[in-house]
Amino acid sequence: MRYQGKLVKWYDDKGFGFIRATIDSKDVFLHISEFQKLKKRPAIGELLTYEIVQDNKGRFRAVNVSYLSTELLIKKSNEETKFSISFLIFFLIFTCFIVERSFNGFLSIFFPLIFIGSNLVTFLFYYQDKTSAIRNDWRTPESTLHMLSLLGGWGAAYLAQKLFRHKHKKMSFMLVYKITIILNCLGIIFYAVPDLYTSLLSYF
């Protein structure tokens, strides 16, 4: 099993240091010989991935160590970011719908700005959560990400999921995410088109 951690101590003259996976975890010993393809001297604060073994004295040490940024670059080069054209078109059309409804007085004139602002905030939250996941720092609760989508940030959430490769493979998360899109769109449509709800009721 591979772990992710930060180099918190390094004695360059002696060629060893210590890695810490989380704030609460114990420091793990690291010798410079355990680096894979070492191209530069290690520095405190760098993010690393590693495996843990136990020596004859029962002490834990890191082996097969590599820089996290290197692994991410390799992984990123092997993956392709694929966007759904239909989704992007739908988001564009829905944004135009909001602008039109606001222009004709069915929505507040500030509503398009609020809609765009919610997307910007959502994108930043996804970026922060992805960064925290890499660094093993405090994570943004999934409920917060869903709430931001429900409030209108679902478009930026989609872009962030694809660009950062974050959350898009977690089925339970994506199911709730899709529900937030439906609820947000229906809520805005029924509010922006007052006669629509009455027209639908007349058919039943």
| pTM check: above 0.75 | no
> Are residues 54 and 145 both part of a single domain?
no
Last residue of a domain, one of 74, 108, 129: 74
What are the C-alpha distances in Å from 31 to residues 9, 93, 124, 201? 11, 56, 37, 72
pLDDT of residue 77: 46
Residue 33 binned pLDDT confidence (cut-offs 50, 70, 90): confident
Predicted local confidence at residue 4, as pLDDT: 81
Task: Write down the pLDDT at residue 57.
Answer: 81
pLDDT tens-place string over residues 146-185: 999 999 999 999 999 999 888 888 899 999 999 999 999 9
Query: Does residue 98 sit in the same domain as residue 45?
Result: no
CA dihedral 192, 198, 200, 204 (to 10 degrees): 160
Residue in 121, 128, 112, 130 with CA at minimum distance from that of residue 149: 121
Q: Can you tell me the distance from the alpha carbon of 149 to that of 74, in angstroms, rounded to the nearest whole number?
A: 31
User: Is the same domain home to 95 and 151?
Assistant: yes
Count the neighbouring beta carbons within 10 Å of the beta carbon of residue 153: 28
For residues 106 and 188, membership in a common domain is answered with yes
Whether residue 197 sits in one domain with residue 104: yes
CATH number of the domain residue 15 falls in: 2.40.50.140
- The number of folded domains in the chain is 2
Q: Is the pLDDT of residue 82 over 70?
A: yes
Q: Which residues pair with 5 in a beta bridge?
A: 48
| Residue 9 and residue 67 in one domain | yes
59/111 same-domain check: no
Are 95 and 127 in the same domain? yes
**Containing structural domain, residue 169:** 80-202
Where does residue 158 rank: exposed (0-12), middle (13-18), buried (19+ CB within 10 A)?
Answer: buried
Parallel/antiparallel/unpaired status of strands 47-54 and 2-11: antiparallel
In this structure, the answer to whether residues 47 and 19 fall within a common structural domain is yes
How does residue 24 score in pLDDT terms, banded at 50, 70 and 90?
low
What per-residue confidence (pLDDT) applies to 69?
61
Q: Are residues 116 and 198 in the same domain?
A: yes
Same domain, 53 and 104: no
